[in-house]
Structures are given as C-alpha cells and as structure tokens.
Copies of this chain bind each other. A is one copy, B any other.
Amino acid sequence: MALIVQKYGGTSVANTDRIQNVAARVKALWQRGNKLVVVVSARSGVTNELISRAKALHATPDDREMDMLLAVGEQETIALLSIALHAIGVPACSRTGAQAGILTDTLHTRARIARVTGGDIPARLDEGKVVIVAGFQGLSTGNEITTLGRGGSDLTAIAIAAAIKADLCQIYTDVDGVYTADPRVVLNARKLPEIAYEEMLELASSGSKVMQSRSVEFAQKYNVPFEVRSSFNDKPGTLVKANAKTMEDAVVSGVALDRSQTRVTVSDIPDTATAVAGIFDALGDAGLNVDMIIKNLGTNGRANLTFSVNTDQFARTEKVVGEALKSLGSGSVRATGEVAKVSIVGVGMTSHPGVAATLFKALADAGVNSDLITTSEIKIAVAVDPAKADATVRAVHEAFRLHEVVPVG
C-alpha cells in the first residue's frame, strides 16, 4: 500500500478505448489498496485544434485568453476519466489545477509554479477516492487560469507528488523508459532501470524527448523520485532519483542525439568581454539557449563567435543578435549550416578520466569530424554533420559498450 501519483499524457487518453485502458490500470492499483492521484493531459489533438481555432481569429492571440482556452483540454479529460472509473466501480473525483491548489505566477502560457497546496486531495484520498487532476494548468496570484507551458502535465504530477509526499510518481508516456540511446537508431540500445536526476537533465537538454528539464529540476529540488514508463505495456520503466545505482556501475549512461541544431556565426565584433557578454546577455534575456560556443580571433582586435541553437529558434536568435550588434556598431550574424549534436552523459564521468579519449577515438574511427565541442561535469557534446549523426551515435554507443551492463574504465 502506497501513495502514488500517476501521470498519463495525451496519447494515453486520446479516445474512449484508451481512457478505458487507463481506468483499468488505475483500478488494478487501487484494488491493491494504494492511494492514487492521477494527473492527465488533454486528449492528443485537442490542444492543437484549440490553437488553430484561436489562430483563425488572431495571428498572435492574447496569452491570458490562450490559457483560458487551452485549460479546457485537460478539464475535459479529468471528467471523462472519472466517469470511466465510475463505470468500473472505482470511486473517483476530478479536480482542476485551481482546485488542486497549483498556484502559479502570472506569466500566462508559461507560468511557473509558486506553491502547491494539494487542495482537498488528501481528504478525498482518505475517503477512498481516486483523485483525477488536470495537468498543465494552475491558478495565478491574480485569480486567473494559467498554463504551465511545455511539459506542464509532468510538472503538475511531480509538484503534487511533492506536496502530498507521495511514495512514487509514475510518468506514463509513449516510450517505455530512458534508453542508453534512441532504440530507433541503435538497435541494441538498453533501457536503464535507474538514472540520476543530473543525467536525466543532461539527456533532456541534449535532445532526448522523454521529458522537459523543468520537471526533472523540480523533482530534483524536492527530491521526488519518479518512474518513466509506457501506458501501452506493463514493463517496468526507468526510475529517476537522487542516488541511482548506475552511478556506481557505469561511466556513461547514455548517448543523446539532437538533430535540429543550427550553427550560427557572428562575425567581426570587438574582441572585448563587454561585446561578447552583450550578445549572450541579449540571448539570455530573450530566453534563447545557445550551446557549444567557440570564439575565433580575427585581425585588428576583432573576433568571430560560433555557436549552435535549436533550429526552430534561429529566426529569433538572428533578430536578437542583430539588435545587439546595432548597439555595438559593427558585426554581422548568419547561419553557417545545420549540425546534429551527439552527447554522452554520465554521472560517473567526473571520477573517470579517459572518457573524452574514448569518445574522440570512436569519432576518428567512424571518420567523423567535429569542431564544436562542449563539456559539463557529466556530459560531453560534439556537433557533427547531420548526415553522419546516426552512424556517430552507433559508434559511440558501441565504444562505451552501453548495450552491456558492465562498468567501464
């Protein structure tokens, strides 16, 4: 008997059959005497349909009204799932984000959680009820409906798990865990039974689509262990927690691939800390993440910067850098090609030298060049030719023998 928070994404509740499938899973756990809170997203397709209705009326609809509009999607799902549970004899009641006490700031469409009270969830659980909570949404300090932005439903689940001190939080998704590499690219990729928060964070920021960083950060901050697993089978997933077992066993936990990076070159700027900082401050203020930065000295005290950004952020990046250059009085910005980013991630890297050597030997053996490289305590990332991305991932996965459960180094 445990207190469990589960989260099911949009594909898991897409239609009547799938809602009934989720209800059956919930019933099985509930029958074993567990207390259950179930967080759900909008049915897949609903959010996009609502967005297109809004865009048909206004090219850039108001953020507050978009939150009013989009919150509808989850409110529909919580009622339907409750009704599906009633149909199989499980007492259930639904709660909106506001009713569940998800209190946020007033940044509409990307609100940050300020506090989570849990509302009357503990009281309803004590009555034997399963509580169904709308993910992705909250109530602002201005008493307005807000939404939490991308990955918001995962965040709701983890925040509620923290608030009610759940024993476990299960994030059901369309993949059945965290793998050593994308199984579509590396056929013998292995599902990791456990992974540390830090590793999960590096994977999330390195192109792994499993979860958004903010949810993992929240879980780490409040020490909420959570399991990523599939709602389409009964296999155990990957447990993400503070002291994952993999820390002791393996230097590298996984290889991530982000195909959609654009290399940006900023040419002919003054080679001063002020000039460089000005450009990166402007990008930071605009919420644009840049990665894998290199600076080349030019002539006459001038410099060039090269870095990578997500391709879908290139247009904004070009605009923001262009404005920063105007105030510098010189320089130009342009895209200098598409790149794919291959990252190796592992908490064990800090205490094991030679990881970089293994990586670059693998790249050399595979005939892959990289001039953009970035490292953190637990990650090394290299930018490669997109045409060689899959081959690179396979070569690196093989070099670190990630398909085997063996300590390296």
Contact = CB atoms under 8 A, between A and B. Distances in A.
Interface of A: 16, 19-20, 50, 53-54, 56-58, 61-62, 64-66, 68-69, 71-72, 75-76, 78-80, 82-84, 86-87, 93-94, 96, 99, 143, 145
9 contacts: A50-B76, A53-B76, A54-B80, A58-B84, A58-B86, A68-B96, A69-B75, A69-B80, A69-B83
A78 B83 contact: no
Contacts of A16: 53, 56-57
B94 A68 contact: yes
A79 B62 CA distance: 9
Given A65-B79, A72-B79, A96-B145, 4 more contacts: A57-B87, A61-B86, A62-B86, A69-B76
A65 B53 contact: no
Contact of A83 (B65, B82, B143): B65
Contact of A75 (B68, B80, B86): B68
A61 B76 CA distance: 14
Consensus secondary structure, chain A interface: helix
Query: Which of A66, A71, A72 gathers most chain B CB within 10 Å?
Result: A72
A57 B92 CA distance: 14
A70 B145 CA distance: 17
Q: Which 10 A-B pairs have the closest CB atoms?
A: A69-B79, A68-B79, A58-B87, A57-B84, A61-B83, A65-B79, A16-B56, A65-B82, A72-B72, A57-B83
Contacts of A143: 99
Which of A57, A71, A76 has the largest number of chain B CB atoms within 10 A? Answer: A57
Contacts of A76: 50, 53, 69, 72
Given A86-B61, A143-B99, A72 B75 contact: yes
Nearest to A82: B65
Contact of A80 (B53, B78, B96): B53
Contact of A86 (B65, B86, B87, B93): B65
Nearest to A62: B86
A19, A50, A56 interface centre (most CB from chain B within 10 Å): A56
A79 B96 CA distance: 18
Nearest to A66: B79
A155 B57 CA distance: 28
A83 B56 CA distance: 10
Contacts of A69: 75-76, 79-80, 83
A83 B64 CA distance: 10
A65 B78 CA distance: 8
A315 to B, nearest CB: 23
Contact of A93 (B64, B72, B78): B64
A58 B96 CA distance: 21
Contacts of A20: 57
B99 A83 contact: no
Contacts of A93: 64-65
Nearest to A144: B99
A66 to B, nearest CB: 7
